[in-house]
């Protein structure tokens, strides 16, 4: 069997859904499991409706609900040329009724817990899959009964062993050549039947989890670009598609901000050694990227990515050298505050590290000030250059740093896996830094 995952832009309206349905039809001999995102920007719309309700503006929230309803009904009407099947019509009515009830509850309590938010966010994928399953004649599966997660709402952690069992019981029997099975990305459920989500952009992750659970031959990620590109095309318009990518490179790129893949996507596929391809729904015969364990690209730099804003903390202690256990003490502070540290660079008397922008900075600085001097610089960005021969290519670091010219690099870190060179610059200079570094990559200078 294979997994085909379509992102939001690939199912944004009736025309896009027809293209996606055509690709599913072509894949029918390979027993496809179709994993869908919500239509277009529906998830954003659901978040806005929920926040509007939380602010006590019920009328505003319900107006957004009606806009979403109109868009979904319009797509269904178009796909079925005005004759929407009764069962689909009933499902849409039920789902929008559920959304209205949830929004009324949030508005009444003026309280939006992550748990309520997940219940509301789940509607996007449940709606898109109902329409798509009806249109393609595929069997509809409720992912909340298959993608078992813990109860960390908004960022739930999938439980692979349970997912394997549930997929074997509920999805595998439906898979057959000539038959499509349609389910939701992004959403899951706890053992108690509560609705969860895997975090924004989580549909890729769902596709990889289900592919791994079912032993797929391939996981196809259908999106709006011709694969993973050498840089974010919104920043570097002449970024080029990468034909093949190693799992390690793809995982680094995803973790360092290449939005094309959810950061955790790769893991379940790597473990199951399933190739992942990234393809353009609008250009199915165009170029695409294959990500596979066997791929050894051997390139010095494969691609660039950036993530920000982040905060750089520089912790100094003149007595540091003499103090064994200094680093243990330092990291204990971050551990206790539940803050994860990203990049680390150490010098004789100081340690620089990056943390996300939303950490409890004041509390951290206070804790650290008990045994060291701390400086915090907010509004920074991490730029990652990823490539398998990065470390063994003489002079590459010099070429990259030279290309940056007057852009100040505040921190440099070579990932432990040696395929990621990370630089920290001011957030407002990150785009220009990417463009300059990309010239080195594209010009063969790398």
Asked if 45 touches Mg ion (CB under 5 A), the answer is no
Interface residue with ligand ADP among 232, 244, 249, 429 (CB under 6 A) is 232
Distance CA 249, CA 292 (A): 10
> Based on CB atoms, which residue is closest to ligand ADP, 42 or 136?
42
Stretch that binds Mg ion, among 71-79, 87-95, 201-209, 367-375 (CB under 5 A): 201-209
104 CB-near residues (< 8 Å, 6+ apart): 53, 58
> Based on CB atoms, which residue is closest to ligand ADP, 223 or 413?
223
Interface residue with ligand ADP among 3, 16, 37, 372 (CB under 6 A) is 37
Interface residue with ligand ASP among 45, 158, 188, 202 (CB under 6 A) is 202
Q: What is the 3-state secondary structure (H, E, C) of 186-247?
A: CEEECCCCCEEECCCCCHHHHHHHHHHHHCCCEEEEEECCCCCECCCCCCCCCCCECCEEEH
Per-residue x/- track, 152-191, ligand ASP (CB under 6 A): ---------------------------------xx-----
Are 230 and 31 in contact by the 8 Å Cβ rule? The answer is: no
Residue whose Cβ sits closest to ligand ADP: 7
Interface residue with ligand ADP among 100, 224, 410, 432 (CB under 6 A) is 224
36 CB-near residues (< 8 Å, 6+ apart): 5, 6, 11, 125, 128, 129, 132, 182, 183, 184, 185, 203
Asked if 200 touches ligand ASP (CB under 6 A), the answer is yes
> Based on CB atoms, which residue is closest to ligand ASP, 96 or 334?
96
Asked if 203 touches ligand ASP (CB under 6 A), the answer is yes
| In the complex, minimum distance from the CB of residue 262 to Mg ion, in angstroms, rounded to a whole number | 6
Distance CA 256, CA 302 (A): 14
Placement of tokens 């894949």 in the chain: 27
Q: Which residues pair with 344 in a beta bridge?
A: 353
User: Could you say which of ligand ADP, ligand ASP, Mg ion, none residue 224 binds, taking C-beta under 5 to 8 angstroms by partner kind?
Assistant: ligand ADP
As a residue count, the chain comes to 446
Distance CA 246, CA 233 (A): 20
Residues within the interface to ligand ADP (CB under 6 A): 7-10, 37, 201, 223-225, 228-229, 231-234, 258-260, 303
């Amino acid at each position: 069997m294979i997994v085909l995952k379509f992102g939001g832009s690939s199912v944004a309206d009736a025309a896009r859904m027809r293209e996606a349905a055509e690709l599913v039809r072509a894949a029918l001999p390979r027993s496809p499991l179709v994993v869908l995102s919500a239509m277009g920007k529906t998830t954003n719309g659901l978040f806005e409706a929920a926040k509007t309700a939380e602010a006590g503006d019920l009328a505003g929230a319900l107006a957004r609900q009606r806009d979403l309803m109109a868009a979904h009904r319009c797509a269904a009407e178009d796909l079925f040329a005005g004759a929407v099947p009764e069962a689909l019509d009933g499902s849409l009515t039920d789902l929008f009724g559920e959304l209205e009830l949830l929004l009324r509850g949030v508005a009444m309590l003026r309280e939006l817990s992550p748990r309520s938010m997940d219940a509301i966010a789940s509607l996007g994928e449940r709606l898109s899959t109902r329409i798509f399953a009806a249109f393609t004649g595929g069997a509809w599966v409720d992912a909340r009964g298959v993608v078992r997660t813990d109860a960390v709402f908004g960022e739930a952690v999938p439980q692979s062993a349970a997912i394997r069992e549930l997929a074997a019981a509920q999805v595998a029997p439906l898979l057959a050549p000539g038959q499509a099975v349609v389910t939701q990305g992004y959403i899951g459920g706890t053992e108690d039947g509560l609705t969860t989500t895997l975090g924004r952009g989580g549909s890729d992750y769902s596709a990889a989890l289900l592919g791994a659970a079912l032993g797929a031959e391939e996981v196809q990620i259908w999106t709006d670009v011709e694969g993973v590109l050498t840089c974010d095309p919104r920043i570097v318009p002449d970024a080029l598609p990468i034909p093949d990518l190693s799992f390690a490179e793809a995982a680094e790129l995803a973790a360092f901000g290449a939005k094309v893949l959810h950061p955790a996507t790769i893991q379940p596929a790597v473990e199951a050694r399933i190739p992942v391809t990234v393809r353009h729904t609008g250009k199915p015969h165009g170029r695409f990227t294959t990500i596979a364990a066997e791929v050894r690209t051997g390139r010095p730099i494969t691609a660039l990515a950036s993530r920000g804003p982040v905060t750089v903390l520089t912790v100094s202690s003149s007595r540091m050298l003499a103090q064994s256990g200094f680093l243990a003490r330092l990291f204990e502070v971050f551990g206790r505050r539940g803050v994860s540290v990203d990049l680390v660079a150490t010098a004789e008397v100081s340690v620089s590290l990056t943390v996300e922008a939303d950490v409890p900075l004041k509390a951290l600085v206070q804790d650290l000030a008990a045994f060291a001097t701390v400086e915090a610089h907010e509004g920074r960005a991490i730029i990652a250059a990823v490539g398998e021969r990065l470390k063994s290519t003489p002079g590459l670091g010099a070429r990259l740093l030279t290309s940056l010219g007057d852009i100040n690099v505040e921190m440099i870190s070579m990932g432990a896996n040696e395929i990621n060179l990370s630089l920290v610059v001011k957030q407002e200079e990150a785009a220009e830094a990417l463009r300059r570094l990309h010239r080195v990559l594209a010009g063969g200078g790398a």
